[in-house]
Amino acid sequence: MAKAKKTKSSASTLGGDFEKKKAKLSKGKQAATNATNTSYKARSIALPQQSINKDRSKAPTTKRNLTLDDLISQTRHHNAVTRKDALYGLREIFASYPFLLSKSLGTVIPDAARLISDDDAGVRKALHAFLASYLPQFSRNRLRPYTSTLLLFTSTALSHIFPDVRLDAVRVLDLLCDALGDDVTSGWQAACQASDGRSSSSQTSGVNGATTSVSSPSFQHGSRILQCYMTLLGVSLSGAIGANQGAKLGPASASIISTDLTSASRLVILQSLLKFLQRGNLKSTVSDTPDQCPTWCFEAAFSSRSDFDAFKVSLRPDRRRTMEGATDNDSLELASESLADLDVTLGRGWNAEELATSVAGATAILQTLEKLEKGRSANGNSPYMHLFTALAPVLITNFLDSAPTAFPPSASFSAQQQQQQLSTHAQIVCVVAGLALVLWRGVAREARDASGNISTSYSDRETLSRLVGHMTPYFPFAGLSSFCDGASWSVEAREQLLNLSLTYCELVALLSMAETKQQAQQPTKGQKKLQGQLHEVSQFIPSIITGQTQNDSSTIGGGEAASTMAARSLSSEAYANLLPTVWLLLSRSADTAVVEPLLDALLRHWTLLKATDPARDISTEFIGRLILLASRPSYTSSFRIPSTLSPRLVEWLGKDLPRHLWELGGRNVISSEKTLELLRCVVSMSLFPAVGDTLRSTLVPFFHFVHPTRGAITGPYARLPQSSQAQARGLLAYLAPLSPALQDAVTRAGL
């Protein structure tokens, strides 16, 4: 024992390296001998973002006392909640202080664009809400310097590894299409041309014969965006794959890839692609606004582009076409400057010979440009047809997957009507049909031959025929009665179903235009099926216009009041969408049994509308254009007004239109001017000689008349502006000599 005790005491006296000292009572833990002292002393602490010396009483701040610079810096914060709150703060500060908008673009856009591919879903949702309220505050010219920044970050997010990020990027792209317009879609055709091995870039000769690209597809945002869409849908349009045709994805693989997405995801992508293509085709196909009569459908009926342009601006009071960011006045001004900038005519007026020479030279240039434009599609497949062929497996697959669920048997469909909104599958069907229509409208514009037919290959036509064939059993979608009563559906759902049926009608008409003469002379099973589809469409159009069946005169829903309600429930936009199909049927059919019911339905529908209804204004212009078509020098279509309808048209021109002028009463100046211009054209060209005699009596109340009890009353003429009054005086010049009653009314009106 003594020896062990001695060893322990000797070890304690040596002081080992890892000896644990015993803590003393009421004493704190002592620091280690090798501890680093972190305490410091300072007279002041610099916190620039939280300085109490900074006066914020006059600076615009949010409820959290954050300035615009604070919020922008927080969008780069590492915390997702802070980034999301910063975006909501930006919405708050711009709503409270609108004057900050004018100087915020350069600082807000770059930081906001980086958040398009943010990993946090809450941040992306807040960004979408912010951009939806922020971008519409600026014009397109103000946003144009930041187009590349926004689209580059968006295209990067469209190829993100996470599907949710890609879908949110598609939603952001929808906002950019509305805000930036053509800057987003410009050059999308280059993606299709690159896959064909062709380049859309213009090349000029350089030194030693070298060629320099003027417009490379790599610098066109539309081409890159379209490739992102195709990647999302499982379709490849890359130039490398296009050069090697064997490496392309087949239809089966494209369909399999596209169906891996959920129904809601497919709907988001397809809707965005439809908006993208509609925006890309807006400037070149449909130059009319939704509240105007469509004129693009008449283009194939003219052999001269200049004559079609003159026809297009006729019956338009302002004599100019509404375009995205430009008007015809700008083009006319530039043309007049270039024509006037000639040394030989400087300082003096032109004589007739010089003017004729100048016009002839300008016409030759325009004809050359037309030939070059037509030659672009002749050198290879149309980009519209190329894109339709690539998308056809996806469109057909989505239709076959969604249509049976969207339009089940009547019992299940009646239960679905109680929800009053279209299901996701029904919306997919609508978008699929819309995509096919947009692309085939482009094909019809670029691939027309001299006879007005669509020049396409047999396989391309059969692709559209298959899609239309799958749609035929469901037509009319939701039934004809649902369009006329509309009791079970909401207004939006009813409009979507009607547009779907009208889209089918136009696709059938376009399919008939792709039929060659040889196919028409040798009818096959497919041709007989097409004739049946055309027959159904020719019966549906008059029924939907007037609300009456073709078999009898009974009105769907019962009574004349129901027919009037059905006609007035057809919105102006739906009516404008219907008119291209009407024209295609009129121009393609030589059977009076098809032409007369369509024209009669248009006239009856016109009488059922109110004078101030925008649909009546569109109807007036469309019927007027049908009357004036045959008077154009380059008109080539076979359509003519049937002689059996001449008495009805004389009554419409001589009695109904003057009554329409009286009912307007100066409330719609554009409609009044359009009506006066139509009457002037008809009378000046003597299209219907009996109209002039009728107008000499029916136009009296328009100027002045005497009421049995109220006495003398000034007509609508006095309430019109001077431009409209000038048109009325021009009409009177062609009606001379005036009848005594009309002469007295004109005199009392102050003429």
Predicted confidence at residue 256, as pLDDT, reads 44
| Confidence bin at 522 (pLDDT 50/70/90) | low
Burial class (CB in 10 A: 0-12, 13-18, 19+), 100: middle
- According to DSSP, the residues that pair with 707 across neighbouring strands are 711
- Dist CA 594 CA 592 (whole Å): 5
| Confidence bin at 337 (pLDDT 50/70/90) | very low
Taking each helix axis from N to C terminus, what angle separates 669-684 and 722-735, rounded to the nearest 10 degrees?
A: 20
| Confidence bin at 372 (pLDDT 50/70/90) | very low
Predicted confidence at residue 687, as pLDDT, reads 87
Predicted confidence at residue 246, as pLDDT, reads 37
Predicted confidence at residue 234, as pLDDT, reads 87
Predicted confidence at residue 334, as pLDDT, reads 36
Per-residue pLDDT tens for 314-323?
A: 887 765 433 3
| Confidence bin at 352 (pLDDT 50/70/90) | low
Predicted confidence at residue 265, as pLDDT, reads 92
Q: Which residue has the tokens 């040394």?
A: 343
Cβ–Cβ contacts within 10 Å for residue 17, how many? 4
The torsion angles phi and psi of 209, rounded to 5 degrees, stand at 80, 5
Among residues of the chain, what percentage have pLDDT more than 70?
Answer: 70
Tokens representing 583? 């024209």
Q: Which position has the higher pLDDT, 626 or 372? A: 626
- In 3D space, the residue among 688, 685, 700, 683 whose CA is nearest the CA of residue 736 turns out to be 683
Determine which of 330-334, 583-587, 640-644, 707-711 has the lowest per-residue pLDDT on average.
330-334
Count CA within 13 A, CB hemisphere, residue 717.
Answer: 26
Predicted confidence at residue 172, as pLDDT, reads 96
Judge whether residue 18 has pLDDT over 60: yes
Judge whether residue 627 has pLDDT over 50: yes
Q: What is the mean predicted confidence (pLDDT) over 641-661?
A: 92
Q: Mean pLDDT over all residues of the chain?
A: 77
Predicted confidence at residue 708, as pLDDT, reads 77
Judge whether residue 253 has pLDDT over 50: no
Q: What is the mean predicted confidence (pLDDT) over 597-623?
A: 91
Predicted confidence at residue 303, as pLDDT, reads 84
Judge whether residue 370 has pLDDT over 50: yes
DSSP string of 622-685, one letter each residue = HHHHHHHGGGSTTB-------GGGHHHHHHIIIIIHHHHHHHHTTS-HHHHHHHHHHHHHHHHT
Q: Do residues 388 and 439 make contact, with C-beta atoms less than 8 angstroms apart?
A: yes
Q: What is the mean predicted confidence (pLDDT) over 176-189?
A: 89
* Topology of the domain comprising 57-200+216-249+263-281: Leucine-rich Repeat Variant (1.25.10)
- Dist CA 399 CA 529 (whole Å): 20
Predicted confidence at residue 39, as pLDDT, reads 83
Segments making up each domain of the chain, as ranges: 57-200+216-249+263-281, 656-751
Q: Which position has the higher pLDDT, 623 or 555? A: 623
Q: What is the mean predicted confidence (pLDDT) over 78-97?
A: 94
Predicted confidence at residue 266, as pLDDT, reads 93
Per-residue DSSP letter, 299: G
Predicted confidence at residue 320, as pLDDT, reads 43
Query: Which residues, at least 6 apart from 167, have a Cβ–Cβ distance to it below 8 Å?
Result: 265, 268, 269
Burial class (CB in 10 A: 0-12, 13-18, 19+), 379: exposed
Q: What is the mean predicted confidence (pLDDT) over 270-292?
A: 74
Cβ–Cβ contacts within 10 Å for residue 175, how many? 18
Per-residue pLDDT tens for 30-61?
A: 778 788 888 878 877 666 556 555 666 678 88
Instruction: Find how far residue 239's CA is from the centre of its chain.
Output: 28
- In 3D space, the residue among 204, 209, 134 whose CA is nearest the CA of residue 175 turns out to be 134
Q: What is the mean predicted confidence (pLDDT) over 513-529?
A: 63
Judge whether residue 153 has pLDDT over 50: yes
Tokens representing 428? 């997919």
Judge whether residue 383 has pLDDT over 80: yes
| Confidence bin at 612 (pLDDT 50/70/90) | confident
Judge whether residue 203 has pLDDT over 50: no
- Dist CA 201 CA 213 (whole Å): 6
- Dist CA 424 CA 266 (whole Å): 10
Predicted confidence at residue 410, as pLDDT, reads 62
- Dist CA 627 CA 686 (whole Å): 12
- Dist CA 101 CA 122 (whole Å): 24
| Confidence bin at 204 (pLDDT 50/70/90) | very low
| Confidence bin at 279 (pLDDT 50/70/90) | confident
Q: What is the mean predicted confidence (pLDDT) over 525-538?
A: 82
Which of 535-544, 555-564, 619-628, 697-706 reaches the highest mean pLDDT?
619-628
Cβ–Cβ contacts within 10 Å for residue 297, how many? 22
Determine which of 7-11, 146-150, 607-611 has the lowest per-residue pLDDT on average.
7-11
Determine which of 2-6, 109-113, 309-313, 633-637 has the lowest per-residue pLDDT on average.
2-6
Q: Which position has the higher pLDDT, 735 or 4? A: 735
Q: Do residues 183 and 168 make contact, with C-beta atoms less than 8 angstroms apart?
A: no
Predicted confidence at residue 245, as pLDDT, reads 39
- Dist CA 629 CA 608 (whole Å): 25
Predicted confidence at residue 562, as pLDDT, reads 46
Predicted confidence at residue 198, as pLDDT, reads 53
- In 3D space, the residue among 107, 105, 127, 103 whose CA is nearest the CA of residue 115 turns out to be 127
Q: Do residues 468 and 508 make contact, with C-beta atoms less than 8 angstroms apart?
A: yes
Judge whether residue 115 has pLDDT over 90: yes
Predicted confidence at residue 291, as pLDDT, reads 65
Q: What is the mean predicted confidence (pLDDT) over 129-147?
A: 93
Predicted confidence at residue 218, as pLDDT, reads 39
- Dist CA 495 CA 576 (whole Å): 13
Q: Which position has the higher pLDDT, 492 or 429? A: 429
